[in-house]
Amino acid sequence: SAPVYDEERFPGKSAGHLGAMRSAAILLYAGVKDVRILNGGITSWEDAGYELSTEEVEPDPVDDFGAEIPGRPELMIDTPEAKEYLSASDAELVSVRSWPEFIGERSGYHYIEKKGRIPGAIFGNCGSDAYHMENYRNFDHTMREYQEVADTWIEEGLTPEKRLAFYCGTGWRGSEAFWNAYLMGWPKVSVYDGGWYEWSSDSHNPIEKGEPILD
């Protein structure tokens, strides 16, 4: 198995625990069959009374990964596939960003210039900004009960029967939302890996701003 965690002591206050979520999603995509995430990061380990070590662990190299890469290509989609999701009746592209990012008040990142959203994307409401996931976590930074997350998604028309691709700016927050769906057993979920960074970098791609007009 491949357990993954982040060393950020307060993962709810920075990108922190998102790094573990992102790494775990990539490992699963690459073909690692048994990927585990330490729920709540290193803080939860310490709170449970377990010891920490300062000894350096030398990796044990192998000659071959042992499988074709990627082993699970369906878990990551690119921009052409994201566009197909937007036009399909059985699929949704889910923007796991903050409301100010979604309506184009800010990009969320100092290295992403353009503001706005992908037209047709469903708001997945991460929390307050690009470095927080309050709406997907408990107060101790562990993952929320799955049913609470599912209930919120279902209100937005996101259901297990649909193909769902989660995205954010560069895949970190999208990966955390993906893990919620994956661990709930939703069978057709993925991460739009390039996210807003890739979409907004192409001037030919449409962008929307302002509050969406509801039908």
Q: What CATH number is given to the structural domain containing 175? A: 3.40.250.10
Q: Is residue 51 part of a domain?
A: no
Q: Is residue 177 part of a domain?
A: yes
Question: Mean of the pLDDT values across residues 64-83?
Answer: 96
**AA letter at 165:** A
Residues spanned by the domain of 86: 73-201
**Residue 164 has what DSSP assignment?**
E
Q: Is residue 194 part of a domain?
A: yes
Contacts of 93 (CB under 8 A, 6+ apart): 82, 85, 86, 118, 120, 121, 122, 165, 167, 192
Q: Which of 42, 75, 168, 177 is catalytic?
A: 168
Model confidence at 150, pLDDT cuts 50, 70, 90, reads very high
Q: Is residue 24 part of a domain?
A: no
pLDDT digits (tens, 9 = 90+) for 11-70: 545 556 889 999 999 999 999 999 999 998 888 899 999 999 999 999 999 999 998 999
Q: Is residue 132 part of a domain?
A: yes
Q: Is residue 46 part of a domain?
A: no
Tally of domains in the chain: 1
pLDDT at residue 23, as a whole number = 95
Q: Is residue 20 part of a domain?
A: no
For the chain, what percent of residues have pLDDT higher than 90?
Answer: 85
Tokens of 177: 């939302």
Contacts of 176 (CB under 8 A, 6+ apart): 17, 18, 21, 96, 133, 136
Q: Is residue 9 part of a domain?
A: no
168 catalytic? Reply is yes
pLDDT digits (tens, 9 = 90+) for 87-111: 999 999 999 999 999 999 999 999 9
Radius of gyration of the chain (CA): 18
User: In this structure, what is the dihedral angle of CA atoms 42, 48, 53, 58, given to the nearest 10 degrees?
Assistant: -60
Model confidence at 213, pLDDT cuts 50, 70, 90, reads confident
